[in-house]
Chain A
């Protein structure tokens, strides 16, 4: 348990402590910088915002959940922006596709927030959030892991990697648009629907939605992996900026001091991650992302199945 010892020491060392004005807790500044950096690297490498990793980590160090979710959105804006700039330089962002996804995404987010509030009134929103995490992470991670492992093994075996089937049902729909960067000529309907789906999930689960968006772009839209990461980051910026503003104006739960500490680490991490990602081959990248998604899924699944040590929990009163 050596790493955990360091973690606990850091938590207690008084000289590096900082009091967060909105979260109203005192935390270690270097711990936050480190967490931000770690998640930033993953963000740049895989094109995921990292919210699905960072939010549980923030709960773990004692940040109130409402503040963690809202502040995380703000931090993702920074790391995604940093990552997108690096991708723009390499021309690996399909801006047109990003905008189409965005239109669907904002509609979906608005719908998702309505659904979230409806379920909150019904009293089971926590369970819904956790279950949707387990289900979606499980499906996405499992499919991606199996597919990319197969591709990886085939390329190791000396056979040429088979190109993915470029023509599926997606290509038989009307309203065709040309997406030059992705090298696609497909209907605008599938990207819009993907955007709506991700938007709904993002609002319910409190994340940017990159971990669903990335596989959806690869497997449903058939976009090349290199373009997917930059485009996903581009789309995430606007979604999380929207979420940040919603939280800041309705719940007052964005902690700018916490966000600054996380994003200083995050933006640097994103730059490093982008450079690592470009050097790795697409199959390796997908196997790694799949493994990470599955790990989070298993962790959350076990939390639901194993009896917790504390059966009771405290929440804000006055419902």
Chain B
């Protein structure tokens, strides 16, 4: 952890000259590992930290933004249009990179915390987290990106919660990020940004590992690595259950 901190301190020192380095983030998570068991119903992660200073705090307004980002996958977004009276898929856009989960928590309105050019450079807001292939067939690729965000927001996979980060005495901060039950396995990158006047003055990155455990892990591995055995096992269970129910009913009806 300390090694990571030093590394980021070093990067920050390189990229944010002069006035940076006066403030530094020290942060922790309530858990770094999320285990998906059979009864997994989602998880809440508490992210907390403090701002370390070597000099008195500057006058400008302090902001904190916390971003948790799930593994990215390519996605095809299709649009329906009416053709000969029925609604069919017509246009499609390939999204090269879209996170499976994306949650932003901030201490105030997002626009006040991070200005546009910083957002574009650091990929912080939800639209910035998505990368679309340049598509020559579709006139309006942006509306496909908007649709992707709308659908994922509705499913609770993308969310922005402004004002959910509590900052105490300009030094301590904490927030809660809820991970839904339909999580994809993988590494969830967690970024914390400290901002003043729309610019980032310090940042901190850590990972949350989401993985299936126990029976879930075993079944998943079996299905992918021993597909034939898994298929036969599924059929055996089906036949046994069918026979079991039949035998059971005969017994019950006879008595």
What residues make up the interface of A, taking CB atoms closer than 8 Å to B? 14, 17-19, 21-22, 24-26, 62, 74-75, 77-86, 89, 123-124, 126-127, 241, 244-245, 247-249, 252, 254, 256-257, 259-260, 263-264, 267-268, 270-271, 303-308, 310-319
Contact = CB atoms under 8 A, between A and B. Distances in A.
Contacts of B81: 311
B230 to A, nearest CB: 6
A139 to B, nearest CB: 18
A271 B251 CA distance: 12
A249 B229 CA distance: 9
Nearest to A13: B41
Contacts of A304: 86-87
A314 B234 CA distance: 29
B38 A249 contact: no
Contacts of B212: 21
A81 B238 contact: yes
A78 B237 CA distance: 8
Contact of A26 (B42, B239, B243): B42
A18 B36 CA distance: 10
A259 B238 contact: yes
Interface stretch (B118-126, B168-176, B216-224): B216-224
Given A26-B41, A305-B85, A271 B238 contact: no
Contacts of A127: 86, 88-89
B50 to A, nearest CB: 33
Nearest to A23: B182
Of the candidates B96, B230, B232, B245, the one having the most CB atoms from chain A within 10 angstroms of its own CB is: B245
Interface stretch (B6-14, B57-65, B70-78, B200-208): B70-78
A305 B87 CA distance: 6
Contacts of A319: 76, 94
A241 B235 contact: yes
A315 B76 contact: yes
A85 B243 contact: yes
B246 A256 contact: no
Contacts, number: 192
A89 B77 CA distance: 52
Given A19-B38, A22-B219, A252 B242 contact: no
Given A25-B182, A268-B245, A313 B38 contact: no
B234 A254 contact: yes
Given A17-B40, A318-B76, 15 more contacts: A26-B41, A78-B237, A81-B243, A83-B242, A244-B231, A244-B234, A245-B232, A260-B241, A267-B242, A310-B150, A311-B79, A311-B80, A316-B75, A317-B74, A317-B75
Contacts of A245: 228, 231-232, 235
A71 B161 CA distance: 37
Contact of A318 (B74, B216, B245, B249): B74
Nearest to A74: B234
B234 to A, nearest CB: 5
A248 B225 CA distance: 11
Contact of A312 (B78, B232, B242): B78
B165 to A, nearest CB: 26
B82 A307 contact: yes
A308 B227 contact: no
Contacts of A21: 212, 215-217, 219-220, 223
B95 interface: yes
A26 B40 contact: yes
B147 interface: yes
A254 B38 contact: no
A149 to B, nearest CB: 29
14 contacts: A22-B219, A25-B182, A82-B242, A124-B88, A244-B234, A245-B235, A254-B223, A256-B223, A257-B38, A259-B234, A271-B246, A312-B80, A316-B74, A318-B76
Given A19-B181, A62-B182, A78-B239, A312 B39 contact: no
Contacts of A17: 39-41, 181
A26 B182 contact: yes
Contacts of A14: 41
A252 B38 CA distance: 19
B46 interface: no
B4 interface: no
Interface string B184-226: 1100000000000000000000000000100111011001100
A248 B78 contact: no
Contacts of A248: 223, 227-228, 230-231, 234
Nearest to B85: A305
Contact of B181 (A26, A80, A89): A26
Contacts of B115: none
A127 B28 CA distance: 50
B244 A267 contact: yes
Given A82-B242, A85-B246, A254-B230, A315 B75 contact: yes
A311 B94 CA distance: 16
Interface string B142-185: 00100110111000000000000000000000000000011111
